Amino acid sequence: MTDVFSPAKRSAVMRRVRSRDTGPERTVRKILTGLGLRYRLQRADLPGKPDIVMAGRRLAIFVHGCFWHGHDCARGARVPKQNQDYWLAKVGRNRARDSACSEALEAAGWRVSVVWECELRDLPGLTRRLQVLTQAAA
């Protein structure tokens, strides 16, 4: 089966995939703001450039898309039919990079949490989890 888009259209679609200020990331930030918490975004001086950083609490939060970071949910387990070797290798590299960044942050004394895209389906549950996570270090 060939791609449903022309190469130029596929390139345009892929260019629109954002690495920051994604919908899931904005939702998590809105929850944290609603809890009265303050944070910094994309701190480049930390390994992996975490999406959300609470320096006073030594907490780094990554907001991961299930497909791009290989989550074990239905969306993350899906492998495109076209160019499977490329996608398996790409997601594998992403997972290895995520793991290395988390280990480096933990070695530096930071707590690391990952919010998966699929967790946004249960906003009350995610809100409770973030509240407990941020209170643990307060």
pLDDT in tens, 80-103: 888 889 989 999 999 999 999 999
Give me the domains of the chain, ranges plus CATH numbers: 19-135 (3.40.960.10)
Cross-sheet strand order for the sheet of 111-116: 40-41, 52-54, 59-64, 111-116
The structure's pTM equals: 0.85
CA-based end-to-end distance of the chain: 53
Phi-psi region of 2 (alpha: psi -120 to 50; beta: other; left: phi over 0): beta
pLDDT of 79 reads 87
Q: What is the CA radius of gyration of the chain?
A: 17
pLDDT range class, residue 138, cuts 50, 70, 90: low
pLDDT tens track for 10-65: 888 878 777 777 889 999 999 999 999 999 999 999 999 999 999 999 999 999 99
pLDDT band at 2 (very low <50, low <70, confident <90, very high): low
Over residues 65-72, the mean pLDDT reads 91
